[in-house]
Structure 1
Amino acid sequence: MAERMSQRLQQLLEPVVNDLGYELWHLESTGAAKSGVLRLYIDSPAGIALEDCETVSHEVSAVLDVEDAGNSNYQLEVSSPGLDRPLANKAHFRRFIGERARVNMFAPVAGQRKFRGVILAVEGDTVDLGCDDQTYSLPIADMAKARLEPVFDD
């Protein structure tokens, strides 16, 4: 049910965000259906400033108010995905091949649930993650959480 609601919100809000000149990077909904937090991560080639978040928040709020007709009470948060941005689909992983990521799985793969390594490839619905001297093929659908892991050079 939550997955269906998330897909519906994605389909409703992505065109709104795109029309404003931004990319809807990720959407998270937490809390109860009648009250909770709706978090949108937006991105653009020029980066994201506070004014960008305000613009998107204003437009998305208006769309949600009309679509929902006042049946829900939610807190809307709009922000940049940041350096440790969430990775939620094939396109996200493809864009960051060669970068480091942290992945937590719902069920163990090769006896472990937590992985840290380099994104090597995306094939079908799996991501090949190089961890130390091993490569793990991790199904995207089985990922509980995945994020880029920024590397800072000294």
Structure 2
Amino acid sequence: MKKVTHIVEELVTPIVTHMGLELVDIEYVKEGKNWFLRVFIDSPTGIDIDQCGVVSEQLSEKLDEIDPIPHNYFLEVSSPGAERPLKKARDFERAVGKNVYVKTYEPIDGQKEFEGLLTAFDGQTVTVEVKVKTKKKTITIPYEKVASARLAVIFS
């Protein structure tokens, strides 16, 4: 049996593609007593609430047709926000030149968390320029060691 997120991806991809949008991520999680199906969409120019509404309505119709979820859940369609997750290689490629927050599976130079400017991504390594006190330091992280990453909003 396919996972709910895979089924939803198959249903929502044609909808967002037709609208000129990008599917960023899908989450299916239980929080407290409630289940949530969250679909994150975006475009190079951003998205608005009307686009989220259209995707939500069309996806809801498709989900009602095949009914892949056996219990009640809340469907949420939204932008990934300013601190969008970086999950795929193309996300890292687009984020070069932007501030990021990266967690690793194991320590690199004694640390597992890095925040700074993503200066390069070559498919094998993620290069982040971090500030250590008043100096800048370049950290090269093997891509397979990245546990999670997201864009970072840094206030200065």
What CA distance in whole angstroms lies between the structure 1 residues aligned with 2:128 and 2:95? 12
Work out whether residues 22 and 44 of structure 1, in 8 Å CA contact, stay in contact via their aligned partners in 2. Answer: yes
1:80 correspondence with 2:79: yes
Equivalent residue runs for 1:5-154 within 5 Å: 5-31=4-30, 36-69=35-68, 71-132=70-131, 133-139=137-143, 141-151=144-154
Question: What's the CA shift string for 1:110-149, capped at 9, x where partnerless?
Answer: 332211011122222432222231222242x543432111
What is the aligned length?
150
- Cα 1:66–1:142 change in 2 (3 A) is farther
Name stretches of at least 5 consecutive residues in structure 1 with no aligned partner.
none
Identity across matched positions, percent: 36
Q: TM-score, normalised by structure 1?
A: 0.79
Structure having the higher Rg: 2
Secondary structure at the residue paired with 1:60? Answer: helix
Q: CA RMSD in A?
A: 2.8
Q: TM-score, normalised by structure 2?
A: 0.78
Name stretches of at least 5 consecutive residues in structure 2 with no aligned partner.
132-136
What CA distance in whole angstroms lies between the structure 2 residues aligned with 1:56 and 1:87? 22
